[in-house]
Structure formats: structure tokens, C-alpha cells
Structure 1
Amino acid sequence: MKLTEGRRREYMANPKNTAAVKELTARFQNASSAILTEYRGLSVTEMTELRKELGAEVEYSVAKNTMIKLAAREAGVEGLDEELLNGPTAIAFINGEAVDAAKAMKKFGADHDAFVVKGGTMDGSALTAEQIQQLADMDNRETTLSKIAGGFNGVLANVASLLGAPHSEMARLAAALEEKK
């Protein structure tokens, strides 16, 4: 079919690509966050090593930029611009703690110069590579809760000693009076 000015050629979507976009859309919708990376220069062995370090709560796979863009739009994810979706892209869909995944990627990136974090999404909004770096530098949920619990323990111990002070003072006074007799 020859294209003439003013007419657009109609394309039928490839069923394989349509299924891939549908799967990516579901992953975006089900994941708490996602991190986009460039994997150029990494071997299959290194990619497997990264997947192991990320753990069971992270699905890490290679996808075409066009499909990622379409799936993100369909899932209601805002801000994945052309700069993020440039070059070979792999995406980590995180079903657990984003901090843990960001820490694992930071550690992996320190050992593998070819690995680059491009950016990502959290709760439907785009994140820059710098924001993911900040996420990696944060304490994970368990550590934060431990710190909060430790703080409460300290406060409760102080309250208990303050509340117990009059009673212990009274007991010492009674003991001193008993000794005097």
C-alpha cells in the first residue's frame, strides 16, 4: 500500500507485543515500585548474580523501551520520559521493600561499572537516579522500627524510674528511720 499525503498507514498490533505490554502493565500495577537500569556490558552470569542479590520479591527483566512506555501509561505511572527510556533497559519490579532493592543495586553497581541505575517509579510517580540513590542510603523498615522501639524503651525506662523514685525514696527514708531506732 502506497502512502499518500494526509493518510496514515494503519498498523495491526503484534499479538506477542500486545501480550508483553499487558504483562508489563500488570507488573507496574502490582509492584510497590520499579527501578529502570541500563544493563549494557553485563554478562548473563552477572545479570543472574544481580537477580539473586535482589531476592525473591523483585522481578528483574529486560524489556523494550516502547513497551515499558506503553505499559507505564496504561498503569497510570507518570513521568517516565524519553531520557529514562533510552538505550538498553532492564526493569526491576519490586513487590517488597524498595529500600532493600535500591541497596542491593547500589552494592552491585559498586562492583560492576557497566551497571547504571536510570531512574524508576514509586507509588505511580517517577524517581530520578539521584532519588533512588537517596533511597539506597536510607535505613530499611526493620532498622527504622528497631530505632523507634529503642527510643520508646529509653523513654519508658525514664518514666518508670521517675514513677518509682518517690517509692524508693520512701523506702530509703523508712530504712534510715529503722536504723536510727
Structure 2
Amino acid sequence: MANGTSTARADKAKVVDEVKGLFDKATSVVFLGFKGMDVITVTDLRSKFRKAGVEYKVVKNKLVEQALKGTPLEGKLGKVLAGETAVAFSFEDPSTAAKVVRDFRKEGDKQEKLEVKAAVLDNAVMAGGDVEKQLASMPGKDELRAMLLATLQAPAQNLVAQLQAPLQNLVYVLEARRKQLEESSGG
């Protein structure tokens, strides 16, 4: 019996270390309740997370609490870690997991059973209702890159427009003069 207990403790310690490592690497973490969801629906959710590069784990609440000991999140998750809890870790784009959850919940009645309990972003806990409203609506990494590129290109585009303006004005003046000469010679 003692050997079985030590094996179980070693397994739990391994899970705690793994979860702690995921928290350390993650840019954001979303806590989910999946009560009332069938296996097929949860499997579909897992697939969507995998495609988006999000790590999805169902972990016992006590093990999550142990993984967060000694971190800024220790003791901050209180009621979030009650009942069945799944954890979705985003590693590159903080909004990825929240966007997957938002889109998934829109798919139907079975998917609406997925409960967003809370999220963690920069060691701050965000209420479940704010996850879909705020975190999921944040621009993604690719959107931010496109915005930055547009911002960087704007001065160059403005410079080209400014350089072309005098030439365009000269063309307009010459065209007006040409029309004036045609009218005076024709009439």
C-alpha cells in the first residue's frame, strides 16, 4: 500500500510541475467549466484548441492550487477552482483561447454549456464575463502586426502624396490652359 501511495504522490507531483510550467510559459490562461457537456462536444472543443495552438487540460483544482503556490496568483482564484475545471493555456497570442471559447459557444446549445469561469492575464484575474467581452475582442498577434505595418507605411504614403501634389496641380493648370486655347482658337 505504501508503494501505491508514493507512486500516486509522484504522479501528482509530476502533474503539479507540468501545470506550473504551463502557467510560467502562458501569456494567458482561461478557466472553464464543462459540466453537462457530452464527450463528443468536449472532443470537438479540444480539437479546436489544438488547431489554435492552445493547450487544454482538465486538472484537479487542488493540483492547480499547489502549482500556483509561491506565485503572484496564489490564493487569487478562490471560487474559480470549484467544481469541474478545465484550463486553456495560450502561449503566443493572449486572446487565442478566449476567441476559441467565444466562437465555440456560438455554435449551439451543447456548446453554450461551456462556462467561462475566469482568465488570467499578466497575473491579474479577469472575471468570466469579461473574458468574452474584453480578452476575446483584443486584436490578435497578426492583427497587431498588420496595424503596426499600416502605421509604419502611412508616413511614406503621405510623403509620396505630398511629392505628387505639385505635379498634379501643374497638370491641371496645363490642361485648363490647353482647353482655354482650344476654345479661343475655335471660336
If the TM-score is normalised by the length of the shorter chain, which range does it land in? 0.7 to 0.9
User: What residue in structure 1 maps to residue 184 of structure 2?
Assistant: none
**Counterpart residue number, 1:44:** 39
Q: How far off is 1:103 after superposition?
A: 1.1
Q: Aligned residues, how many?
A: 168
2:96 match: 100
What is the correspondence of 1:131-146 to structure 2 with a 5 Å cutoff?
131-133=130-132, 134-146=134-146
Post-superposition offset of 1:114: 1.4
In the TM superposition, residue 160 of structure 1 has moved relative to its aligned partner by 1.3
Q: Counterpart of 1:21?
A: 16
Q: Structure 2: which 5+ runs fail to align?
A: 1-5, 182-187
Determine the C-alpha separation between the residues in 2 that align with 1:145 and 1:170. Answer: 38
| SS of equivalent residue, structure 2 residue 89 | strand
Q: Shift in Å at residue 118 of structure 1?
A: 0.4
Equivalent pair of 1:25/1:74 in contact (CA under 8 Å): no
CA distance in 2, matches of 1:151, 1:79: 42
Measure the CA separation in 1 of the matches of 2:37 and 2:135.
24
Q: CA deviation at 1:163?
A: 2.0
Looking at structure 1, the residues matched to 21 and 148 of structure 2 have their Cα atoms a distance apart, in angstroms, of 35
User: Separation in 1 of the partners of 2:62 and 2:127?
Assistant: 19
Matches within 5 A, 1:162-177: 162-169=162-169
Percent sequence identity is 25
Write the distance in 2 (CA, Å) between the matches of 1:144 and 1:19: 37
Q: Deviations over 1:77-132 (max 9, x none)?
A: 35632211111100011112122221110111223121001012122222221331
Which one has a larger percent helix, Structure 1 or Structure 2? Answer: 2
Q: Does 1:80 align with 2:71?
A: no
Q: Deviations over 1:133-176 (max 9, x none)?
A: 21112332222332443455455333312122234445666886
Normalised by the size of structure 1, how large is the TM-score?
0.77
User: What amino acid is aligned across from residue 129 of structure 2 in structure 1?
Assistant: E
Please name the residue that 1:127 is paired with.
126
Q: Which moved more, 1:104-113 or 1:135-144?
A: 135-144
Q: Are the structure 2 counterparts of residues 74 and 21 from structure 1 closer, same or farther at C-alpha, using a change threshold of 3 Å?
A: farther
Give the equivalent residue in structure 1 for 2:156.
156
1:35 aligns with 2:30: yes
